[in-house]
Amino acid sequence: MARNKYDVDEVLEDKFDVNQLKRLLAYLIPYRKRFVSVGFMMLSASAFTMLIPQFFQKVMDVCIPNKDMKGIAFYSFLTLLAAFYSAFSLRYKIKYTNQIGQQIIHDMRYDIFEHLQELPFSYYDDRPHGKIQVRVVNYVNSISDLLSNGILNTITDLCNLVFIIVFMLILNVRLTLVCLCGLPILAIVIVVIKKKQRTAWQVQSNKQSNLNAYIAESINGIRVTQSFVREDVNSGIFNNLSGSYRKSWMRAVMFNFTMGPSIDIISIITTAAIYVLGVSWMINGETGITVGVLVAFTAYIGRFWAPINTLAGFYNSLLTAISYLERIFETIDEPVVVKDREDAVEMPPIHGDVAFDHVTFSYEPGVPILKDVSFHANQGQSFAVVGPTGAGKTTLVNLLSRFYNVDSGRILIDGIDIAGVTIRSLRKQMGVMMQDSFIFSGTIMDNIRYGNFSATDEEVIRAAKTVCAHDFIMEMENGYQTQVNERGSRLSAGQRQLISFARALLADPKILILDEATSSIDTETEIILQKGLNELLKGRTSFIIAHRLSTIKNSSCIMYVDKGTILEKGTHDELMAQKGEYYKLYMSQYASLM
């Protein structure tokens, strides 16, 4: 999928083919035994109820003329027995098909979510998150009925149709042929609307995706919206997107609703023809046509068109589902470009020696962000990375965590190329605190423990004390058990960063990455936190990205990065003595204080 936003329709990169239907059926395989048992129940019930018109014929042509009350009672009992068995089978089907359908939906949704966990940052950089979410929730829900009832109903109805045609042929061949004359007309209707119907549902899925993307964006940015009094403008945008969704939905269902009336019209015409011809042949004394035969045959006519109507409904559901399946399987098939190589090995315990060896990287071909970057950090050293916005600072540390693959060059940890080790074994030994201090819904204790579930409460509290988060946590109503909202909306920006800092510390990493770790902390807290930082950085190799230069003065090495290259490198005193770019940056921040 190309770079996208809420007002741009998505373009399918892979068109739908029959193999995707096979993939869908593959989700049924684990539940095939239950499907077979339900199918057997439905088919046996269907075969039993198919005999009811035969009972009617016997009653009309034999029992009533011969005044055989026992025969009437016998056939009535068999009819009642067939009805009870059919009701029992239907109840069995409803119970278990819904269970199976929901389990399949769970399996499919799990596959999508699991795959999303593995996709690289670049996938999320190019897409509104609402358009990703709609695939996991709405699109999967939309095919729930198809999986739970549609497939099984189709199989049983096809068998029912065969049973019905056989019984109809046994009763009268000519009347059966008259009934079948309606099928070519129905086939023409299906062919005419098929392409338009599928296209309409593809458009509808696009409009639904756009609407969902804008809703998600609006909720995430509600504070900015209200601050700039954008409510009316946003409501107008929403109204346009919702209106487009409504129009696309109405057009799509228009084609769906074409099928039902078409079948009804064809069935009425063929039924009328059978009545006219049947009565005419009976009056003219045609052999094989009796009142009982005509009554039984008209009963079969209703049964004949009922499964066809169901099959048409399945066809509609299938075309609807195809537009969603295309998006679902497109997501599942999205390549994981940052993944373990086939010969990847576990990363040994890290000591902390890091080297960039002629590393070049670009997000888009031909637009390099880092150009031939090389440096070496010894175990336990703290490397600070500074420079203007967009210089490539965050990209540099993201490559160290293998969130992206390098275009060329190597990144070595303890002399081992990280491209040849498993991602999990690498990241488990690294601690990362990014610019976006994301807080999950749950307790403060759970958020700090997020990177180390085995940590005890005492270890969590010790980490919080180290980064000066303990005091404000204890002032909250339930201390560490205080519930915080998604994205930490109850907390200040500084509090969120301190909790994220404690989270990174608790993971006890050998390599620590701090991306603007103190950007939202006031100067007074920063002074206190610096003491904890000194303890945190002991024995660890650390990379600190900072705009506030007071936090990095004591770093082992400071690298000034701009336009994808390292322009200057050295200690604070060395760089100040050079009076180069770092000197200018430092003086611009502190000139007013000197």
340-429+552-594 is classed CATH 3.40.50.300: yes
Residues of the chain scoring pLDDT < 50: 1-3, 13, 592-594
Tokens of 588: 């611009």
For 463, the 3-state DSSP assignment is helix
Provide the sign of the torsion angle of the four alpha carbons 576, 578, 580, 584, taken in this order.
positive
What is the predicted pLDDT for the residue at 1? 40
Q: Which residues contact 116 (CB under 8 A, 6 or more apart)?
A: 132, 136, 331
Question: What is the reported pTM?
Answer: 0.65
Domains 18-332 and 340-429+552-594 share a fold: no
What is the predicted pLDDT for the residue at 354? 93
DSSP of 408-454, one letter per residue?
EEEEEETTEEGGGB-HHHHHTTEEEE-SS----SEEHHHHHGGG-TT
What is the predicted pLDDT for the residue at 417? 93
CB 168 within 8 A of CB 304: yes
- pLDDT tens-place string over residues 117-159: 888 777 777 777 777 887 887 778 777 767 666 676 777 777 7
In what side-by-side order are the strands of the sheet with 354-364? 367-377, 354-364, 408-413, 416-417
- The residues that bridge with 356 in the sheet, in sequence order, are 375, 411
3-class SS letters over 289-320: CCHHHHHHHHHHHHHHHHHHHHHHHHHHHHHH
For the structural domain made of 18-332, what CATH number should be given?
Answer: 1.20.1560.10
Helix (H) or strand (E) holding 253: helix 231-283
What is the predicted pLDDT for the residue at 418? 93
Residue reference for tokens 């610019």: 435
What is the predicted pLDDT for the residue at 346? 93
Provide the sign of the torsion angle of the four alpha carbons 417, 504, 484, 224, taken in this order.
negative
Domain boundaries along the sequence of the chain: 18-332, 340-429+552-594
